[in-house]
Amino acid sequence: MKSKLLIIGASGHGKVVADIAIKMNKWQSIAFLDDDKSLRSSMGLEVIGTSDDVFTHIDDYDIFVGIGNNDTRKRIHEVLETVGASIPILIHPNAIIGNQVEIGDGTAVMAGTVVNCCTKIGKSCIVNTGSTIDHDNCIGNFVHISPGAHLAGSVKVGQGSWLGIGSVVSNNIAITNGCIVGAGSVVVKDISKPGIYVGIPVRRV
């Protein structure tokens, strides 16, 4: 771990990520990179360059991708891995994490979440505000669980899937890679084909 943290992306999601990092109180200084060159600061933290500048900071900073889009976050996270960056895990002090939970590098766990025991969460995921992931879930890499989504026990979510705000997944359900589950939608059967699913219960659109 380094004494400084650099967050790539200074807009909405990046700001929430910075807020967690500040509350974790582990870094002496925190700064952003953002591709909007007109942006000088965000959340009172300095924007010190664009994402292309990241390579010059690898030795001095822990680096975290604060971008909400799963594909973009994946792309940048994988570049960071390739160049050997130090990538932390960010967990809000008011998240509740059960025993034997595994969380991958580059994942952000937001305020008010509950991750129950024996759940595995991959790398570079977002476990967003007030969502709950119950026991024995297996969440793939680059997944986004939006605010207020609830996953019952033994749910599997495949790589790169995005569960929308307030969605619900019943127990023992498997959702394959690359799915989008709409806001407020309810999944009660396995989803084995990538796509966009909405409604109660979900239908593919």
Neighbouring C-beta atoms of residue 141, cutoff 10 Å: 22
Judged by CB under 6 A, the residue of 116, 132, 141, 146 near ligand COA is 146
| d(C-alpha 110, C-alpha 105), whole Å | 15
The footprint of ligand COA on residues 59-98 (CB under 6 A) is none
| 196 belongs to the binding site for ligand COA (CB under 6 A) | yes
Give me the catalytic one of 92, 135, 144, 150: 135
Asked if 182 interacts with ligand COA (CB under 6 A), we say yes
Left (φ > 0), alpha (ψ -120 to 50) or beta: where does 204 sit? Answer: beta
Confirm or reject binding of residue 198 to ligand COA (CB under 6 A): yes
For ligand COA (CB under 6 A), the number of binding residues is 14
Q: Does 9 bind ligand COA (CB under 6 A)?
A: no
Helix H or strand E encompassing 76? helix 70-82
Site residues for ligand COA, 31-60, by CB under 6 A, read none
Q: How far is the CB of 181 from ligand COA (least distance, A)?
A: 7
Interface residue with ligand COA, options 128, 137, 141, 176 (CB under 6 A): 128
- Cα 62 to its chain centre, rounded Å, is 16
The string of DSSP codes covering 1-61 is --SEEEEE--SHHHHHHHHHHHHHT--SEEEEE-S-TT--EETTEEB---GGGGGGGTTTE
Tokens, residue 61: 């900073």
Under the binding rule (CB under 6 A), the answer on residue 111 touching ligand COA is no
Q: Residue 147, SS3?
A: coil
Q: Which is nearer to ligand COA, 85 or 126 (CB)?
A: 126
| Residue 92 annotated in active site | no
Active-site residues, by number, are 135
Contacting positions for ligand COA (CB under 6 A): 128, 146-147, 164-165, 180, 182-185, 196, 198-199, 205
